[in-house]
Amino acid sequence: MTREELKAAAVSMLDRAYIPYSHFPVGAALECSDGTVFTGCNIENAAYSPTLCAERVAVAKAVSEGHKDFVRIVVAGRCEDFCVPCAVCRQVLYEFAPDMEIISLNGKGEELSRTLRELLPHGFGPEYLLKEE
């Protein structure tokens, strides 16, 4: 998938967002090293805290289908600012691919690219626990 196609996949998920409370749609398209793409949208809940972010929906779809080798993710919003992953989503992505690219889109479709390491420096990764074994 080209960069523009991946961006379009994330934007297309904005219409699937279940957002009766925030009215703030987020779409995500997560690309794996073999080219497989998993999409996600945010899914809100009346109890608020069970709300799922678009990025973590995409990660759950990927990992549950046997894909963990993430290369890049597009995060799309309809807001003025570039839509960045929240801290929890950064941590979830860091588990699998600390050097992946995070492509943030604003409502005009303009992009801002950063690495996950830039967004989450000195992250807590699996190495902290696995080397204790």
Of residues 20 and 35, the one with the C-beta less far from ligand THU: 20
SS3 content of the chain, % helix, strand, coil (to 5): 30, 25, 45
Q: How far is CA 44 from CA 38, 114, 122, in A?
A: 19, 27, 30
Residue 51 binds ligand THU (CB under 6 A): yes
55 is catalytic: yes
According to the binding rule CB under 6 A, does residue 26 interact with ligand THU? Answer: yes
State the helix-helix crossing angle for 87-94 and 54-64, rounded to 10 degrees.
20
| Residue 91 engages ligand THU in binding (rule: CB under 6 A) | no
19 vs 40: CA distance, rounded Å:
13
Q: Does 106 interact with ligand THU (rule: CB under 6 A)?
A: no
The answer to whether residue 31 forms part of the interface with ligand THU (CB under 6 A) is no
DSSP 55: H
Provide CB contacts within 8 A for 51, sequence distance 6+. 42, 43, 44, 45
Site membership for ligand THU, residue 100 (CB under 6 A): no
Single-letter residue type at 35: G
Q: Residues 7, 44, 70, 98: which binds ligand THU (CB under 6 A)?
A: 44
The reply on whether position 19 binds ligand THU by CB under 6 A is: yes
Determine which one of 44, 55, 110, 132 is catalytic: 55
Shortest Cβ 47–ligand THU spacing (Å): 13
Residues that bind ligand THU (CB under 6 A): 19, 22, 24, 26, 42, 44, 51, 53-55, 85-86, 89
